[in-house]
Structure 1
């Protein structure tokens, strides 16, 4: 039977080649959509790594005219104490501009054991960062006041960077360097991964450096952990205190949960656009399959009538048309799978191989489902053709 079907398909190769190309294009588009979707879902179910509820971000700019680092340090340490002394504040700390769920990013290359690693996220934070955000230490410790007096440069890395550099071995006591900088940086702790780019993005390798006195010249973010009963009235008092302390400074207070919602919407825009394009393409392919099969029925009424006249059942006629469509789909999927498997083999976009393989399986299942759905009705129409009517028309 299959030999006969392949012969029928080959005899109409020009007509079928366009349909095969459409199905192939649809498969690749659906592979891209499912890859994006599977990776986003995989990242979504990964823990955030912080307790962002009831955490506010105070944005300010340094309006002080003094150039003395020590004076700035005394001023901003006093400001932080005043914030932490407010009745509904649990903890607070300074951070660089790349706070969680912001559009600000900072990265650089590092070296370990002579090997260079690019695009490592860099954060500058103070001793209160983990307590304010609720991050957990996996190995070692976070910064404390004693580190201020030490001459050794220290750093804390996240678990992703630890696994990338050291695998299952410990990272404590190891030394890193920045690019061409010869000064060694000692690792004193490993913190859990923090998804600072929202629910649908991976945490990525990161380093957390301790803010020194010179950092107060450019630091412009304060993370504040407040109690659940902190309301708009308290936010107004906090704003007023900041405005009175930092004259001529632009003060803005944001909530991390609101920033997360906005960032997630921004992240999902490419997936939504790609899904819309895929939907239009699938509709066109579905209409194409439906139209081709309908055209085949009208062109082959004599053939169908003859088959029915010599004893073929309606179900066998219907299954023949459906099987022809599935064979065309299989040819397209074989070609599409060949291109799709190159992505995990070549490690394109640095995604896990499981994401690509899952996306391939979902794309195959979806394309087959569309083809079967579009071919069943024309197949049933072919099965309903009466032999005498078809032969009489011929």
Structure 2
């Protein structure tokens, strides 16, 4: 059957050339949209590494020597308020909290001689283990427990799992030394889940360590609350500058333009696919309308409606398959040229599917083909189904 359809396509090559060109262009454009959505959906499905349910951020005005005592009293009121299970204090610009727009980078390696590979990650200075308690950051070494820094050792660090695996190549990092910026020596006391900075991003490398002498100029307090916590009452009695971390993430996405970009591209994708579907339906409708006589003749010779419909669907999908070959070559050229920039792309050694350029390329082109195959099959079936319902005598008369 395929050989027969190929002969028909070649026989009608002038008519099919425009459809071929249309499908080629559509495939290349659709791939760009599919690739963008694939990365976005993939990254959102990855765990954040922390739990922001029932957590809130409380901001405080600038902390100075004059209001230190007032702030201490304020912090005590927050952490002792009914329904507050745990509280954690840091500076707003430290980059420690989830959805922070601050990133404090650091290099880290397993020796100070420069002979080992150096990785880069985010340094998160925490003054207590309350961070792990507030955001329910679990240990990978002991999944039933939360992450822990050894407070008896000021040179202890907690690594995220992706960084630990990169540094120690699968070996246990517990008790081993690491060097920050090639000089400062620390001992690994725990490994926790990989951490995201944003919901749409991949987890990045992070290092948690104590820095008790950190100067806090813009206090930010994170709290985890119990079911008996009254949000409205807290706003009245303690502070009106309280907001859930889920809203913090949404607000930051909006501020950085991520929300508008996602809405715009999603809207364009829906609009584009609808127009593609309508365009292809129109093309095949006109094409099949020109074949009324042929359809009538085939039905007069004994072909069933389903046989005719299957043939036209197969012909349309085969045309798409032929157009997909050069379209993939076009996509390959675009990828190699570095034209494709997608929200949420991460460093190339993250280990995720989206960071593997060629695996991602194969998957997204495959998804594009499947998506367009459905649209093309439906586009060919609608006019073919209508045409096959016409009585053979009427079809032959119209053609004559």
User: 1:188 aligns to what SS in structure 2?
Assistant: strand
What stretches of structure 2 of length at least 5 have no aligned partner? 111-115
Deviation at 1:169, TM superposition (A): 1.2
| In 2, Cα distance between equivalents of 1:392 and 1:368 | 31
Aligned position for 1:246: none
Does the 8 Å contact 1:308/1:387 carry over to 2? no
Residue 143 of structure 1 pairs with residue 149 of structure 2: yes
Distance 1:110-1:227 versus aligned 2 partners, 3 A rule: same
Aligned position for 2:242: 253
Deviation at 1:3, TM superposition (A): 4.0
Distance 1:131-1:377 versus aligned 2 partners, 3 A rule: closer
Aligned position for 2:164: 162
Distance 1:61-1:302 versus aligned 2 partners, 3 A rule: same
What stretches of structure 1 of length at least 5 have no aligned partner? 240-250
Residue 365 of structure 1 pairs with residue 367 of structure 2: no
Aligned position for 1:110: 107
Residue 225 of structure 1 pairs with residue 230 of structure 2: no
Does the 8 Å contact 1:108/1:122 carry over to 2? yes
Larger Rg computed on CA atoms: 1
| In 2, Cα distance between equivalents of 1:165 and 1:314 | 64
Aligned position for 2:113: none
Higher share of residues assigned helix = 1
Aligned position for 1:182: 183
Pairwise CA RMSD:
3.9
| In 1, Cα distance between equivalents of 2:81 and 2:395 | 90
| In 2, Cα distance between equivalents of 1:211 and 1:95 | 11
Deviation at 1:305, TM superposition (A): 4.9
Deviation at 1:375, TM superposition (A): 0.9
| In 1, Cα distance between equivalents of 2:286 and 2:371 | 24
Q: Deviations over 1:294-345 (max 9, x none)?
A: 322343445445555555555544443332212111113344456668979x
- Number of residue pairs the alignment of both structures matches: 369
Q: Deviations over 1:173-223 (max 9, x none)?
A: 3344444x533343332222344423x44322112232332x224453121
| In 1, Cα distance between equivalents of 2:53 and 2:38 | 26
User: 2:184 aligns to what SS in structure 1?
Assistant: coil
User: 1:52 aligns to what SS in structure 2?
Assistant: coil
Distance 1:189-1:196 versus aligned 2 partners, 3 A rule: same
Distance 1:10-1:86 versus aligned 2 partners, 3 A rule: same
| In 1, Cα distance between equivalents of 2:101 and 2:169 | 29
| In 2, Cα distance between equivalents of 1:135 and 1:53 | 12
Aligned position for 2:318: 327
Distance 1:99-1:182 versus aligned 2 partners, 3 A rule: closer
Moved more, 215-224 or 26-35: 26-35
Does the 8 Å contact 2:82/2:229 carry over to 1? no
Distance 1:85-1:291 versus aligned 2 partners, 3 A rule: closer
TM-score normalised per structure 1: 0.76
Aligned position for 1:124: 125
Does the 8 Å contact 1:305/1:391 carry over to 2? no
Deviation at 1:10, TM superposition (A): 3.2
Residue 377 of structure 1 pairs with residue 394 of structure 2: no
Does the 8 Å contact 1:99/1:196 carry over to 2? no
| In 1, Cα distance between equivalents of 2:139 and 2:315 | 59
Aligned position for 2:84: 89
Deviation at 1:388, TM superposition (A): 6.8
| In 2, Cα distance between equivalents of 1:123 and 1:14 | 64
| In 2, Cα distance between equivalents of 1:196 and 1:138 | 19
Does the 8 Å contact 1:95/1:129 carry over to 2? no
Moved more, 229-238 or 6-15: 6-15
Distance 1:237-1:390 versus aligned 2 partners, 3 A rule: same
TM-score normalised per structure 2: 0.75
